[in-house]
Amino acid sequence: MKYYGFWRSLAACRVRIALALKGVKAEEIPVNLMQGEQLKPEYRAVNAQGVVPTLMLDDGSALFESMAIIEYLDETHPQPPLMPKDAKGRARVRGLAQIVACDGHPLVVPRIRNYLEKDLAIDEATRTRWCQHWIMEALKAVDAHLSKEKETGRFCHGDAPTLADICVATQVFGARFYNCDTGPVPAVMRVFGECMKLEAFERSHPLKQPGAPKELKH
């Protein structure tokens, strides 16, 4: 198994963390998003949307969309589980994960930032405000759930990491890239602290990947 990713991609980071939690080895093939490699026909033949991650299975199948990939990994490598056993629990975990992966993160991906810059001529300071705003909107919504719901434990849902923690932790990586004030999301930051005690999260950090700079402003 191998997957296409890139050091600074938060969606690829979600898959990297899931693979690490499962103890599954998969080579990461970098697609340089800053040089537009994702838009080349060779990569579009692998991923029609021109985005990472893509998980390549040994039979040649290409799986796309990080949450679909993580659920595939969870079904094919059940231990440790990344989803609760009960349907209501799974709905909550998917809900928390989707606030990040479907509502927050898509607004700050390269194609959106490029459109703001090149087509709408929005300056860098305003683009940064855009990213900070939408990153924090997602984290504030997650924080409201985590702080008031009894299912919250050491992690987002109980005392073991789930798909929700993977999404929330990567969104906090993004918040730090954009120098967001995370003061208003204490429940998120508490859970993030628990995630980062786990090696799978810690070594999957974007800035720890080959080719990454030592620090990143945004």
Ligand X SMILES: N[C@@H](CCC(=O)N[C@@H](CS)C(=O)NCC(=O)O)C(=O)O
Question: What x/- string results for residues 9 through 28 when contact with ligand X is judged by CB under 6 A?
Answer: xxx-----------------
Rounded least distance, CB 150 to ligand X, Å: 29
168 vs 187 by CB, closer to ligand X: 168
Cα 55 → chain centroid = 15
Which C-beta is closer to ligand X: that of 33 or that of 156? 33
Q: Does 30 bind ligand X (CB under 6 A)?
A: no
The reply on whether position 66 binds ligand X by CB under 6 A is: yes
Is 26 or 187 the residue whose CB approaches ligand X more closely? 26
Report whether 115 contacts 164 (CB < 8 A). Answer: no
Chosen residue from 2, 77, 90, 111 binding ligand X by CB under 6 A: 111
How many C-alpha atoms does 16 have within 13 Å on its Cβ side? Answer: 28
Residue 119 φ/ψ, nearest 5 degrees: -90, -35
Tell me if 209 sits within 8 A of 28, measured CB to CB: yes
Report the residue from 16, 26, 65, 188 that binds ligand X according to the rule CB under 6 A: 65
| Range list of H helices, 35-185 | 41-44, 66-76, 87-98, 110-114, 124-148, 163-177
Q: Between 67 and 141, whose beta carbon lies closer to ligand X? A: 67
Q: Which of residues 130-169 bind ligand X (CB under 6 A)?
A: none
Binding string to ligand X for residues 82 to 101, with x set by CB under 6 A, is what?
Answer: -------------------x
Distance CA 175, CA 41 (A): 32
The single residue among 33, 139, 175, 188 that binds ligand X, judged by CB under 6 A, is 33
DSSP 8-class letter at 83: S
Show Cβ contacts of residue 13 under 8 Å, excluding neighbours closer than 6 positions: 5, 170, 173, 204, 205, 206
Residues 37 to 56 in contact with ligand X, rule: CB under 6 A: 38, 50-53
Q: Which residues bind ligand X (CB under 6 A)?
A: 9-11, 33, 38, 50-53, 65-67, 101, 109-111
